[in-house]
Structure 1
Amino acid sequence: MPIDERAPALVARARRGDPAAFDELVRGYLRPAYAVALAIVGRPADAEDIAQDAFCLAFEKLDTCRDPGRFSGWLLTIVKNQARNWLAKRKLRDVSRLSSPPEQPDEGDGPDTGALREPLLAALNLLGEAQREVVLLHDLEGWTHGEIAGALGISEVMSRQHLFVARKKLRAELEGGLSEERKHG
């Protein structure tokens, strides 16, 4: 049974103090939460931290989830708010600096992984927030347009439109980068 179908019962159990139920919610929604955070902040390590913080906050405020049948939308709203707050704090911190320190590559990444990740993250950052959320949830997480629409509070048609435009922009950006590399390589 998909996590969205089990969510109402898991929320009820978690509200009664069953830690295994909330653990199952975390396992079921961690990747989508990460994808939404990544869509907003654009940095994988920060997106992981934001997703974890969002789950901690969701656990604390679980009683405020009015409709457990829409847990995914409620949770992803928390993730979005956490990510936007993180961006605002980062901007305040970075005001005194001329530029942020260079991002360190993740340990354990092979050279090919880093070579592919950087252009993709750069291309994703050129998309609008809604386009990034939809493309990451659909293409990375395998969500349907119906699931995306419910979680993000948009129509299925709008989800499809965001995906179409996002893929078109990503393709153009990534193909443009590859042709530049071939010219200089």
Structure 2
Amino acid sequence: MKKNLLLFLTVFTFSSCEIQYDGETRFVVQGQLIDKENNPIADKRIEINTYSDGTYGDSDLISYTNTDTDGKFTMIFPAPKSDDIDIITTINGRSYIDYNSNLTSDYQSKNIKTSKRNFSNYKLDFNKIVLYKNDEITQLEVVLNSTTNNKEITEVFVEGNLAESIINLDKNEDENQYITTHFDVAKNQI
């Protein structure tokens, strides 16, 4: 009896943690990788992972491909049933397959976070995504000086070429977010 109860609880626990997908509806993600000179970047890995309930606990690798000779990619994958799913597109990052290897790339990696609401007619087009070479990127730190109580800084805007490694398409302007003061930027900008 105890074995049956343990088996039931184990099966229930693992079956309740799975991300559910709509077997009939497909999403399409497409884009093109280019360098800062607008040249296509070929043969870079693109992955799409889903994460449930805004956490990184339950996740699925649901699609992956490499860019073609023109730097273009298209992926088709089943739509998650839940609206509380984060869809992360990892560009030129470590995949599940080679996570433990020491692969290095001369180009940066990027994560683009989105959700189902950003798809229009089941499609999300990233258009052109610029990847910078790692040696073309530096850190810019903005130091905020103290202000009086009636003055506050609500946003820091950096003009120039940002080499963002994380792009969040679900930014909610009403959320209380901290002010970003560290930026990855392209070197030698005029």
What TM-score do you get using the length of structure 1 for normalisation? 0.31
Which structure shows the bigger proportion of residues in strand conformation?
2
- TM-score (normalised: structure 2): 0.30
More helix by share: 1
The structure number with the bigger radius of gyration is 2
